[in-house]
Structure 1
Amino acid sequence: MMNIAIANQKGGVGKTTTAINVATALAATGHRTLLIDLDPQGNASTGLGIDQKARVYSSYDLLVGNCALDEAVIHTQVPLLDIVASTQDLSGAEIELVDLEERTHRLARAMRTAPARRWDVCLIDCPPSLGLLTINAMVAVSAVLVPLQCEFFALEGLSQLLQTVERIRARFNPDLSILGVALTMYDRRNRLTEQVAEDVRSCLGDLVFETVIPRNVRLSEAPSHGMPALIYDMRCAGSEAYMQLARELIARLPPVREEAA
């Protein structure tokens, strides 16, 4: 199973929208996909239509050792897509983890309980911070997907995130790498958007995905209906962009991992 964290400590960059729709796109292309909602806000869970009553076990329970991964999994309305939902309990997890043994490796240990060959890809939707929850995610994965909003302040946040990845690689997870940077909320009518995109590409080169995710009303509407944009309106510009992004992502997955899956 290829494990990928979707992370950016800056809020409002389209991180959860990316998590939901990339996961849906991967499932639509035949990849058995697991999405772990590690954000206390639980937006990925709500955006996939998971009712609060269905969240018997959650990502919080995984972290504190109350259940195995398979027990926390909920099937979604999307074929081949499962989720480990988030609950409000997760909001206090950062404090609780401080006193637990191997506090930075709790999620990695829980994910090792996954049934063999159950999923091909696991995506982890991280909270908008670089605290213990995000660190747990980065320790548990081999790659990070970074959604980056096309605005000036996002560039400063990207630099901080890249430094964090380097620290995690040095201290806890030498296999960690950046899978790619996805430009989100792209508005071709805005000159600043074009300038930010040019700056990011000149700095990171091929690390930046060719596909850009446009500002799109349908992407914003879909979560209120409890469904991914790819189901809500598969022909909108946002859905088509996420399908193309998923194809690029699949092309970057290590061949050995894909064969093993």
Structure 2
Amino acid sequence: MTVPYSPEDREKVVAKLPVPLRRELKVRAAELGIDIQEAVTEGVTAWLDLQDHAAVDTSGGSSFSTYLPAGLYEKLKGACKPRKISYNQGMAQSIRSWLDAHPSPRPTPPRTTGARRLVFGNQKGGVGKTSVSAGVAQALAETGKRTLLIDFDPQGHLTRQLGYEMLDIESPSLAKHMLADAEGDLQALLVPIKGGDFEDCLWLLPACKDAFLLDAKLATTRAVRIKETALERVLAGLEQEFEFIVVDCPPSLGYTMDTALYYGRTREGEEPGQSGIVIPVQAEDTSGDAYDMLAEQMDDLCEDLKVEIQTLGFVVNLYDARNGYIATSSLESWQSMDEPVLGIVPELKEQREAVRRKEPLLAYEPDCEQANVLRSIARRFQG
């Protein structure tokens, strides 16, 4: 078949699709490791040649947008007219036919080591740990993975950026549980994050106003090895409830960070690459200096405790090639490292707008370039 459109040039198209169909598409694309826009392109291309077209219930549809090769959407609309169906119905049928032709792969065996643990850390502030960890967690949950997002930074930026209140200083909190100063179930502190296609699969453990005391109290505790194991001890009861636990770390190299690094170590019976640390950086020199210090801390911790902490990769955040040689040469330096660059998140307004509105990015602007990069990063953790 000769395609009457350009596969190189793409244009944004918008349709109204029911939420269940959108979710199924995102889950299936993630399972098969392909971009959503490629899945929709394949579906529309195949639908144009189909003779039988089963109707799809599109009631309660909401906005869905993607990028198709230039001219393909016009071809779809042209085919809808003689079939006497709406453009939204044509798009829904195309996606449904793609899903039917690409069944879900065989489910993986049950995990025996609990949730996979992704620790986002860098002692340098301002590199975007919060936005990257939150975005990846949303992208994981969007594909149906039950995901817990933990605000482990005393400043509580993650909690506030998502529109939630920090826990009161007198209330039970993660820090109090880590110091054995709280009773009750830690799960009672979790709040569901609403909005977007990740709803019902994403929860937040908010920060508390007392978290700034954690580092000092860990430093003075006399309990054997509590400095390193405190976080793991209190989260153990939650691990079977989630498939991923994402930790947004503080910009420091103190004892609190030690507990997060230890939590992300490769456990006995766990395959390499399942859990570890993800390091958000920027394309400039100070991020490199900060990484050197973090790497030294990780090496010391591994040697002292005889454990392995795997660096899963870097995320180059807030990238703008218009900054010239400093940005481009720094990006090349990150790309030359032994660990992979998992993604390059551009410096665009959508993330700042989402923060300003106190909304998750993948709910506020789910089809922006930043959101799609974060989805591509999340797919790398789902193998």
- TM-score, length of structure 2 as denominator length: 0.61
Partner of 1:198: 332
Q: Give the match's secondary structure for 1:117.
A: helix
Query: Superposed, which structure 2 residues align to 1:228-247 within 5 Å?
Result: 228-247=360-379
Shift, 1:242, TM fit: 1.1
Is 2:204 the partner of 1:89?
Answer: no
Alignment counterpart, residue 175 of structure 2, candidates 60, 64, 67 = 60
Q: Which has the higher contact order (CA 8 A, sep 6+)?
A: 1
Computed over aligned residues only, the root mean square deviation of the Cα atoms, in angstroms, reads 1.8
Shift, 1:141, TM fit: 1.5
Shift, 1:73, TM fit: 1.8
Runs of 5+ consecutive residues of structure 2 not aligned to the other structure:
1-114, 266-275
Deviations 1:177-208 (A, max 9, x none): 1111111111122222111011111133x522
Is 2:151 the partner of 1:27?
Answer: no
Shift, 1:154, TM fit: 0.9
Alignment counterpart, residue 159 of structure 1, candidates 271, 274, 292 = 292
Partner of 1:121: 244
Identity %: 26
Counterpart of 1:70 in structure 2: which amino acid? Q
The question of whether the paired residues in 1 share the 8 Å contact of 2:119 and 2:264 is answered with yes
Shift, 1:43, TM fit: 1.0
Distance 1:54-1:40 versus aligned 2 partners, 3 A rule: closer
Shift, 1:173, TM fit: 5.9
The 4+ residue runs of structure 1 with deviation greater than 3 A are 52-57
Alignment counterpart, residue 75 of structure 1, candidates 179, 192, 197 = 192
Shift, 1:22, TM fit: 0.7
Q: Give the match's secondary structure for 1:112.
A: helix
Deviations 1:123-159 (A, max 9, x none): 1110001111111111112300000111111111111
Is 2:146 the partner of 1:38?
Answer: no
Runs of 5+ consecutive residues of structure 1 not aligned to the other structure:
252-261
- Larger of the two Rg values belongs to structure: 2
Is 2:352 the partner of 1:220?
Answer: yes
Alignment counterpart, residue 110 of structure 1, candidates 234, 253, 257 = 234
Counterpart of 1:229 in structure 2: which amino acid? L
Deviations 1:195-232 (A, max 9, x none): 1011111133x5222x2100011111212222211111
CA distance in 1, matches of 2:123, 2:323: 24
CA distance in 1, matches of 2:362, 2:311: 25
Shifted more, 21-30 versus 189-198: the winner is 189-198
Is 2:253 the partner of 1:130?
Answer: yes
Deviations 1:56-85 (A, max 9, x none): 533222322214432332222132111111
Q: Give the match's secondary structure for 2:204.
A: strand
The question of whether the paired residues in 1 share the 8 Å contact of 2:150 and 2:204 is answered with yes
Is 2:295 the partner of 1:180?
Answer: no
Counterpart of 1:227 in structure 2: which amino acid? E
Partner of 1:17: 131
- TM-score, length of structure 1 as denominator length: 0.89
Q: Give the match's secondary structure for 1:235.
A: coil
